[in-house]
Structure 1
Amino acid sequence: MDDVKSAAEKTSSQILDIIAVKGRVSEPGPGVTTCEGAAPGQLFTVYHPWSITGSSEEELGKAMFRLKDELPGAGWRIVQYGPNSSRDRTLELTADHAAKKFGLNVEFWKQGEGDDGKPRLVVNVVSACYEAPDGEDVDYS
């Protein structure tokens, strides 16, 4: 499980490198949860949500285009790119990396969206489902 958490952090770091804007990155590290439909302790997935603020709306918009352009060259398949169905029609990118067994979702929240109204990129990196090794309990902390 620690290997998957490390891979999630590394994947997030690579995404941040492509985003390539200066700003404040939120702190929470990766977490572990039960895969949908599985009994607790059998299958797990690792998720790493984070966001970046403190850059201009224009720079964050450019970062979204960079992600769309550069992710395929890094092995990612863009599944969806464009405005989502929210009231604000937020620009959203969803991608999968089959070899790494990770999915990615990025939303571009413009000025006025979100809790504090600051523009930001909201990033979610999620692993595939993994089976807990024999004799090991899944640690959800």
Structure 2
Amino acid sequence: MSLIKCKKCGKEYSVIKDNCPYCGQSQKEPPASTAQHIPAKKKKELYILPPDERKSPIVAAIFSFLFWWIALDTFYLYGLLVGFCKLLLIYFFLPIFWCWYFLDFFRESTTTKDGDALLALFVYVCCLELISIIKAIYYIALPINKFNRKYNSYIVKE
């Protein structure tokens, strides 16, 4: 039986064994034909914008509180596409309420009271304003490092 010398600890052991019984070092090298180059995974890094380019939570809260009806906070924080989508959602429902009001006005039905559509519109607008107040409080109460991670960063793939 032939013996081989361990590359790590230098002790001799049988050729039959794959690993050194003393230190556990593998002595077999992979054959050249089966060796493959496996690329390392690309790391994703979070890049925070420089201070002069960062969005402010105070400005976002002011936009949310005062300019909720044009979704200015959404344009400020998320960009044009998301801002226009929010506007579409907000103003898609408003015409429905107005159409309901005019149909109710011209229809001679006793099933609904006058002003039901306006009341529904008022409730809808109040809900939108309440949501914007909650968002403004959220922007101010959010710790600055979490605000930066959420609104002032992007992922860079190396």
TM-score by length of 2: 0.21
Structure with higher strand content:
1
Larger Rg: 2
TM-score by length of 1: 0.23
